[in-house]
Amino acid sequence: LELGAGTGRLVLALARRGHRVVRVDVSAGMLAVARRVTSAVRRAPPALVRGDMRYLPVRGPFGLIVCARDTFLHLPDANAQVLALRAAAAVLDAAGTLVIDLPGPAGDLWDWDPGARPLTLDWSREAGGSRLTRLSTFRADGAAQTRAVTEIYEELEPDGVVRRFVVEYSLQYVFPAEARLLLAAGGLRLQAVYGNYDLSPFDSGSERMILAASPARPIV
């Protein structure tokens, strides 16, 4: 099960390896893109389900649940994060694993200096005869552990017409000690924390904070 799977990049990779994958996302637009991306998968086509990860519209049990690449931070506050963890625990197999991929302390996403950042050019590329460019800025609030992000997409068409789209969203960050408490409140137990995708140890120099958790054992 992948939570908040976006355009289906990870779902596609898992399905191509023969895994049976269920993907949940709250965005109808993202699901539409994912359907196109995964339409060629024949061996084990993924199930794409529209729904909120706080109130999962699927049944388990799942051996692996993944919330990849900062998706968990889109939940608006700690209460919402606990709801999502409880929903995941409810459909996780007793021997299964939940993996949450978050920013680590050495990454640029842990910049807590107050105030707005200068507008940054993220990338510019050709797309269907037009040039598409993304610029971004953000405002950090260290006390609230949030980042208000603004992304600007500009499309320069061959005739010189420029179209601009602005996307704004907020991220609710999770710190290492807090992660243990959130998992416990969600009925889960932390198994391991990794500092990168090579499963290296987590420390102050880690760019990622990858949490692996299992269902909490009942108290007897």
pLDDT per residue as tens digits for the range 38-72: 777 766 677 888 999 999 999 989 999 999 999 99
pLDDT tens digit string along 83-93? 999 999 999 99
pTM of the model: 0.89
Least confident of 5-9, 151-155, 163-167: 5-9
User: Cβ atoms within 10 A of the Cβ of 207, count?
Assistant: 15
pLDDT of residue 148 exceeding 90: yes
What was the pLDDT predicted at 14?
Answer: 83
For residues 113 and 136, the model is more confident at 136
Give the whole-angstrom CA distance, residue 11 versus residue 143. Answer: 35
pLDDT tens digit string along 121-136? 999 999 888 999 999 9
What was the pLDDT predicted at 220?
Answer: 43
For residues 8 and 55, the model is more confident at 55
What was the pLDDT predicted at 176?
Answer: 94
Give the whole-angstrom CA distance, residue 116 versus residue 173. Answer: 17
What was the pLDDT predicted at 219?
Answer: 47
Do the Cβ atoms of 159 and 152 come closer than 8 Å? no
Give the whole-angstrom CA distance, residue 171 versus residue 173. Answer: 6
> Distance between terminal CA atoms of the chain?
30
Enumerate residues 6+ apart whose C-beta is below 8 A from 26. 4, 50, 51, 52, 53
For residues 110 and 213, the model is more confident at 213
Closest CA to 190 of 203, 201, 199, 177: 177
pLDDT band of residue 218 (cuts 50, 70, 90) is low
Enumerate residues 6+ apart whose C-beta is below 8 A from 163. 154, 155, 157
- 65 in the Ramachandran plot: left (φ > 0), alpha (ψ -120 to 50) or beta? beta
How many residues can be counted in the chain?
Answer: 220
pLDDT tens digit string along 170-196? 999 999 999 999 999 999 999 999 999
Do the Cβ atoms of 34 and 7 come closer than 8 Å? yes
Whole-angstrom Cα Rg for the chain = 19
pLDDT of residue 108 exceeding 80: no
For residues 5 and 69, the model is more confident at 69
